[in-house]
Amino acid sequence: MSKYLVALDQGTTSSRAIVFSREGTIVASHAVEFPQHYPHPGWVEHDPEDILESQVQALREAVALSGIHAGDIAAIGITNQRETTFLWDRQTGKCVGNAIVWQCRRTARIVEQLVEEGHGEMIRRKTGLLPDAYFSGTKLKWMLDYYNLHEKAARGELCFGTADSFLCWNLLTGRPHVTDATNAGRTMLFNLETQDWDDELLELLGIPRACLPKVVDSSGPIGMLDPAILGRPIPVTGMAGDQHASLFGQACWNPGNVKNTYGTGCFMLMNTGEKPVRSENGLLTTMAWRIGGKPTYALEGSVFMGGATIQWLRDEMKMITRASESESIAESIPGTGGVYLVPAMTGLGAPWWDMYSRGTLVGMTRGTGRAHIVRAALEAIAYQSEDLMQAMAKDCGHKPDRLQVDGGASANAFLMQFQADISNVRVVRPQVLETTALGAALLAGLGCGFYTGMEEIASFWQKDLEFVPTMDDGTRIMNLRGWHKAVERSLDWAEH
């Protein structure tokens, strides 16, 4: 009898594969990093071949490390960076160019024009999204315009998809052209009410329906893994965008449950149940997941530069050699000395939604040193997350008293304690930090009948640590006031 589940976690900076036991514990894991490409200021791209090769390598290595046989795997789940946009030829499978990453700002002018023409409210009403270059729809329009491919797309000769679609097409037998409802909901082309692509939005952006994938549930049969990859076909029965998979993996199954993932960006989601909640405070209405044809919704706030802020300190500024160093450096001083870093290198997400804000470092004195800037970078991640929590509290009428956290940067104890302090909530970290991959595996397990239902997997979530707020109200208010003052300095900076 098959005993294991595997998750493919295709992220922004690496592709990972994790083998899970039936009880949701990690048996083996392997990640493969791949290059980021920045051809122009504000542009971010990935080579599709890098995505594919790194994901296959990660899968093979994880299974090899686990010591299990392919026959022991009940099913595979896929989770992915969401809005990153791929466009490929249906016959050859070759992409027309590099994938445009979710962080890329090249389509800001297209978005501006949509808003200027008065389409903003219609887009928000239908998709739950605020018009922004973040989402896939304008990226796809840009590709069709730039490569002059509208006619080819209309003839059905091209396939559009996010990373989940691209992986399914390339890794599954029969080349299914599919996406799940959570990823579809991030394109700015998907109608939350009808649960289908929206003809008015497609016409507005000049996108033919013929190039779009079929929208499937987040849990259920999708296809079979190509036997050439692991030596035998394996069912792929779960698929969800990374933040939705994380919400599921954190067992946030009830309305009001909130999680924050500290990955490349930070993404806070609150389960709102069977009805979409419209935000009045700059948050997005999004899918949580769709199972058995039944949608569950969420409110979401996005921070574009979370862990990426620490990568920037390491790779561009050379202030640290390893991300883990940032914790001890931050703890080596009692505060930032009034220094604030606003990491708006690719604009600001919720609740600001400013495509033209840029990274800003303020409050420096002659005594400012490396440790102050490193600590300010970590604090900035928490400040941005607190802005999201405040927006959720306004939309829902109450602030949650508990924040469930995951993602790579949640291993940083300084950051987690500062988050608890600045948000004045309990921050709870699970034993399995890879909840995005866990969520994908659990969705796959449900989708193939490996589990009898949600009740069976409810006990899998286990607490590791809880961070309790210790900061006094006066200090918290003063710190937040300084942060918002710094954010104001960063707004509307870039030329447009």
Pairing label, strands 294-303, 340-342: unpaired
418 touches 470 (CB < 8 A) = no
**What is the rounded CA–CA span in Å between residue 148 and residue 137?**
16
**E strand segments, 280-391:** 284-291, 294-303, 340-342, 360-362
240 touches 76 (CB < 8 A) = no
CATH tag for 4-242 (out of 3.20.20.70, 3.30.420.40, 3.40.50.920, 2.70.98.10): 3.30.420.40
What is the helix (H) or strand (E) element at residue 236, kind and residue range? Answer: strand 235-241
- Could you read off the pLDDT of 164-178 as tens digits, one per residue? 999 999 999 999 999
**What is the rounded CA–CA span in Å between residue 387 and residue 260?**
12
Assign 51 a pLDDT band (cuts: 50, 70, 90): very high
What is the helix (H) or strand (E) element at residue 420, kind and residue range? Answer: helix 413-423
Dihedral of alpha carbons 325, 327, 328, 330, sign:
positive
7 touches 17 (CB < 8 A) = yes
Task: Determine the average pLDDT of the residues in 52-67.
Answer: 97
Assign 71 a pLDDT band (cuts: 50, 70, 90): very high
Q: Answer yes or no: same fold for 4-242 and 251-430+462-496.
A: yes
386 touches 260 (CB < 8 A) = no
- Could you read off the pLDDT of 316-337 as tens digits, one per residue? 999 999 988 999 999 999 999 9
Structure confidence at residue 329 (pLDDT): 95
What is the helix (H) or strand (E) element at residue 350, kind and residue range? Answer: none
Structure confidence at residue 432 (pLDDT): 86
Check pLDDT > 70 for residue 1.
Answer: no
What is the model's pTM?
A: 0.88
- Phi and psi dihedrals of 375, rounded to 5? -65, -40
| Burial class, 413, CB count within 10 angstroms (exposed 0-12 / middle 13-18 / buried 19+) | middle
- Could you read off the pLDDT of 211-232 as tens digits, one per residue? 999 999 999 999 999 999 999 9
Check pLDDT > 80 for residue 2.
Answer: no
**Residue that the structure tokens 């989601």 belong to:** 269
What is the helix (H) or strand (E) element at residue 91, kind and residue range? Answer: none
Pairing label, strands 86-89, 73-80: unpaired
Which SS3 state, helix, strand or coil, does residue 233 take?
coil
Check pLDDT > 90 for residue 78.
Answer: yes
**What is the rounded CA–CA span in Å between residue 190 and residue 205?**
13
- Could you read off the pLDDT of 452-473 as tens digits, one per residue? 888 888 888 888 999 999 999 9
Task: Determine the average pLDDT of the residues in 125-134.
Answer: 92
Measured between its terminal Cα atoms, the distance across the chain in Å is 60
Q: Residues of 144-171 as b/e, b for ≥16 C-beta within 10 angstroms?
A: beeeebbebbbeeebbbbbbbbbbbbbb
Check pLDDT > 80 for residue 111.
Answer: yes
Cα dist from 313 to 355, 375, 411, whole Å: 22, 11, 18
- Could you read off the pLDDT of 373-428 as tens digits, one per residue? 999 999 999 999 999 999 998 988 878 889 999 988 999 999 999 999 999 999 99
Beta bridge partners of 75: 5
- Among the listed residues 155, 144, 149, 157, the one whose alpha carbon sits nearest the alpha carbon of residue 90: 157
| Burial class, 285, CB count within 10 angstroms (exposed 0-12 / middle 13-18 / buried 19+) | buried
Measured from the Cβ of residue 468, the count of other Cβ atoms closer than 10 Å reads 10
Structure confidence at residue 400 (pLDDT): 85
Assign 209 a pLDDT band (cuts: 50, 70, 90): very high
Check pLDDT > 70 for residue 305.
Answer: yes
Structure confidence at residue 286 (pLDDT): 94
Instruction: For domain 251-430+462-496, give the CATH number.
Output: 3.30.420.40
Percent of the chain past pLDDT 70, that is, above it, reads 100
Assign 103 a pLDDT band (cuts: 50, 70, 90): confident
Task: Determine the average pLDDT of the residues in 124-140.
Answer: 94
Mean pLDDT of the chain: 94
Percent of the chain past pLDDT 90, that is, above it, reads 84
450's tokens: 């490996």
**What is the rounded CA–CA span in Å between residue 64 and residue 109?**
47
- Among the listed residues 126, 123, 128, 43, the one whose alpha carbon sits nearest the alpha carbon of residue 84: 43
Pairing label, strands 266-273, 158-161: unpaired
Q: Any idea where the domains of the chain sit in the sequence?
A: 4-242, 251-430+462-496
Give the length of the chain: 496
314's tokens: 């390491």
470's tokens: 């210790």
Structure confidence at residue 407 (pLDDT): 86
- The DSSP output letter for 484 is H
Lowest mean pLDDT among 64-68, 130-134, 186-190, 423-427: 130-134
120 touches 131 (CB < 8 A) = yes
**E strand segments, 194-335:** 196-197, 214-216, 219-224, 235-241, 258-262, 266-273, 284-291, 294-303
Structure confidence at residue 198 (pLDDT): 97
Structure confidence at residue 265 (pLDDT): 85
